[in-house]
Structure 1
């Protein structure tokens, strides 16, 4: 085997690369030391990959092992580049089709989405404790974590780098944050990414409507989640690593713009 292309592995250290065999077959490998911060993410991704149904547009896990203190995962190679989420992009239809296709019953004991939402809420509340006059406080208090409960497969971290587009088809990668929850949750988490990519909030919701489950999203809880995510991203921009500060501020601003649109409806 020979490494042909390295790739970003996200926010933590590890190995992510395309490799080719002497016969020309191409695969994708992810690996990390068992003691590394990313190890838990790889184990969660392995569990999810083992359980994904064939209808899910995602690369198949071909082999996995723990060798010499390393976790190794070998996937089918997926041709594609990060999806263009900007207005008018030819990738948008494929992205939303892929998102709609994963809204199926979760077939393994994935962690509940309520745990993820609860974590966002706790950080938002910490941020409010330092600025109690924040105008988002009433919306944060309106968030009902139970509203996000459910038995539907949720990717939990959809953004352009996890959506690989190729000739109109989109594959969804990196399932390390997969959980089970409400069918519309992935769409709600994706909308701020669309705003960040240049859509107005109204345009982003028009794109969201391409996923049928979006019609069932409870309006008050969608708005509350946007407010919580804005405060969460603001807080993480303050306390997280410096190289992520700008990206998190953009997310906070996108969520804030979405809140302002929804509260003016």
Structure 2
């Protein structure tokens, strides 16, 4: 690894993160890197491929990918530009929300690259009861989809998206919809959450029927997730999905 980084002077384990066996901050002779990695035999090592592949396309809104080490017998490691920042605050009135809105608007203007990405309709197919409704999710936009606050880094007045393990091609309004669930879990009412990003072009183009279908799918998805693992944050996401669906049903289509 030192052939990419220079001589390592210090290594510090990152305190937060859920998807990597290795998460380190490396300080070298000349630079500083954030390193994440998985064992080569890990079944979901494909998430490393996704982050490495999509990185160059989202460099304007994410820490830049710098290098990758795959020659190691046991580990697959990716080095990212180190960003000194903090994770986003999703509580009502947070000053981070306009920054996130700006980043999501920039993402909405990035053309989806011609890569072998998962599509929104295939990802949510297990949770949409009527297969004919999957057409609402079809689109040509590049989506992040995982707006866990740990995946949004606030630094120098910007919001940067990290952890691109699930880049997806689909309807542009899906990302704001995913974010709405996180805002509800962060303390917003469903109505307040929808208001936060009302000026996003992608949200303004969202079809009411499509939103209802997606909200139903999110309830089914988070119910499955929370029943498999009753971690507090997963239970809260299940609750948030129910709150959003209730709101969608109340305002009609």
Say whether the 8 Å CA contact 1:9–1:15 is kept in structure 2: no
**SS at structure 2 position matched to 1:8:** coil
CA–CA distance in structure 1, aligned partners of residues 53 and 17 of structure 2 = 18
Alpha-carbon distance in structure 1 between the residues aligned to 2:139 and 2:164: 18
Structure 2 match to 1:164? 153
Correspondence for 1:232: 221
State whether structure 2 residue 48 is matched by structure 1 residue 62: no
Are the aligned partners of 1:31 and 1:72 in contact in 2 as well (CA < 8 Å)? yes
For residues 198 and 93 of structure 1, what CA distance do their matches in structure 2 show? 17
Contact preservation (8 Å) 1:48, 1:176: no
Q: How does 1:244-255 map to 2 (within 5 A)?
A: 244=231, 246-255=232-241
Misfit runs of 4+, over 2 Å: 140-143
Gap regions ≥5 residues in structure 1 = 122-139
212-221 or 34-43: bigger deviation: 34-43
The answer for the alignment partner of 2:3 in structure 1 is none
User: Which of the residues 132, 157, 172 maps onto 1:183?
Assistant: 172
After TM superposition, the structure 1 = structure 2 runs for residues 3-42 of structure 1, keeping only pairs within 5 Å, are 3-10=11-18, 12-23=19-30, 25-42=31-48
Give 1:141 shift: 3.8
The gaps in structure 2 that reach 5 residues or longer are 1-7
CA contact (8 A) 1:153 1:183 kept: yes
Length, aligned pairs only:
240
State the TM-score, normalized to the length of structure 2: 0.88
Residues 208-223 of structure 1 correspond to what in structure 2 (within 5 A)? 208-223=197-212
Q: Counterparts of 1:100-249 in structure 2 under 5 Å? A: 100-103=105-108, 104-109=110-115, 110-121=117-128, 140-141=129-130, 144-240=133-229, 242=230, 244=231, 246-249=232-235
Conservation of the 8 A alpha-carbon contact between 1:143 and 1:225:
no
Q: Provide the alpha-carbon RMSD of the alignment.
A: 1.8
Q: Name the counterpart of 2:5.
A: none
State the partner residue of 2:4: none
1:52 matched to which residue of 2? Answer: 57
Report the 3-state secondary structure (helix = DSSP H, G, I; strand = E; otherwise coil) of the residue aligned with 1:158. Answer: coil
Instruction: Tell whether the 8 Å contact from 1:237 to 1:248 is kept in structure 2 after alignment.
Output: yes
Residues 94-121 of structure 1: per-residue CA shift (max 9 Å, x gap)? 0111111111221231222222121443
Deviation at 1:57, TM superposition (A): 0.6
Alignment check: 8 A CA contact 1:94 1:168 kept: yes
TM superposition shift of 1:199: 0.6
Structure 2 match to 1:264: 250
Of residues 93, 99, 104, the one that matches 1:99 is 104
